[in-house]
Amino acid sequence: MSILVTGGAGYIGSHTVVELLQVGRDVIIVDNFSNSKPKVLDAIRQITGKNFKFYEIDYLDTEKLDKVFKENDIDAVINFAGFKAVGESTKKPLDYYTNNVAGALSLLNVMNKNNVKTFVFSSTATVYGNSTEIPYTEDLKTGDTTNPYATTKYFIEEILKDVYKADNSWNIAILRYFNPIGAHESGLIGEEPQGIPNNLMPYVARVAKGILKELSVFGNDYNTPDGTGVRDYIHVVDLAIGHIKALEKLEKEKHGVFIYNLGTGKGYSVLDMVKTFEEVSGKKVPYKIEPRRPGDIDMFYSDPTKAKEELGWEATHDFKQMCKDSWNYIDKNY
Catalytic residues: 149
Smallest gap from Cβ 113 to ligand WQD, in A, equals 28
If the CB atoms of residues 55 and 88 are measured against ligand WQD, the closer one turns out to be: 88
CA–CA distance, 156 with 162 (Å, rounded to integer): 10
Q: Using CB under 6 A, which of the segments 32-40, 97-105, 192-200, 245-253 binds ligand WQD? A: 192-200
# binding residues, ligand WQD (CB under 6 A): 20
Taking CB under 6 A as the rule, does residue 177 contact ligand WQD? yes
Out of 62, 72, 114, 216, name the contact with ligand WQD by CB under 6 A.
216
78 forms bridges with which residues in the sheet? 5, 120
Residue from 49, 330, 24, 56 nearest 206 by CA:
330
If the CB atoms of residues 297 and 311 are measured against ligand WQD, the closer one turns out to be: 297
**Distance from CA of residue 254 to its chain's centroid?**
24
Give the torsion sign (CA, 34, 93, 235, 327): positive
Residue from 104, 108, 116 nearest 74 by CA:
116
CA–CA distance, 126 with 107 (Å, rounded to integer): 23
Smallest gap from Cβ 180 to ligand WQD, in A, equals 6
> Is the Cβ–Cβ distance between 19 and 244 less than 8 Å?
yes
CA–CA distance, 99 with 138 (Å, rounded to integer): 26
Out of 15, 84, 206, 235, name the contact with ligand WQD by CB under 6 A.
84
Per-residue contact flags (x/-) with ligand WQD for residues 275 to 314, judged by CB under 6 A: ------------------x--x------------------
Taking CB under 6 A as the rule, does residue 266 contact ligand WQD? no
| Residues between 24 and 43 that touch ligand WQD (CB under 6 A) | none
Out of 6, 79, 179, 261, name the contact with ligand WQD by CB under 6 A.
179
If the CB atoms of residues 49 and 195 are measured against ligand WQD, the closer one turns out to be: 195
Taking CB under 6 A as the rule, does residue 126 contact ligand WQD? yes
Q: Quickly list DSSP for 37-90.
A: -THHHHHHHHHHS---EEE---TT-HHHHHHHHHHS-EEEEEE--S---HHHHH
Sequence length of the chain is: 334
Taking CB under 6 A as the rule, does residue 156 contact ligand WQD? no
CA–CA distance, 24 with 35 (Å, rounded to integer): 27
Out of 124, 151, 276, 326, name the contact with ligand WQD by CB under 6 A.
124
Taking CB under 6 A as the rule, does residue 15 contact ligand WQD? no
Biggest CA-to-CA distance, the chain: 56
Taking CB under 6 A as the rule, does residue 182 contact ligand WQD? no
Out of 218, 268, 319, 329, name the contact with ligand WQD by CB under 6 A.
218
Q: Using CB under 6 A, which of the segments 41-49, 80-88, 253-261, 305-313 binds ligand WQD? A: 80-88
Taking CB under 6 A as the rule, does residue 128 contact ligand WQD? no
Taking CB under 6 A as the rule, does residue 268 contact ligand WQD? no
Smallest gap from Cβ 243 to ligand WQD, in A, equals 13
Taking CB under 6 A as the rule, does residue 261 contact ligand WQD? no
Q: Quickly list DSSP for 194-245.
A: SSS--SHHHHHHHHHTTSSS-EEEE-S-SSSTTSS-EE-EEEHHHHHHHHHH
CA–CA distance, 17 with 3 (Å, rounded to integer): 9
Which residues of the chain form contacts with ligand WQD (CB under 6 A)? 84-86, 124, 126, 177, 179, 198-200, 203, 215-218, 229, 231, 270, 293, 296
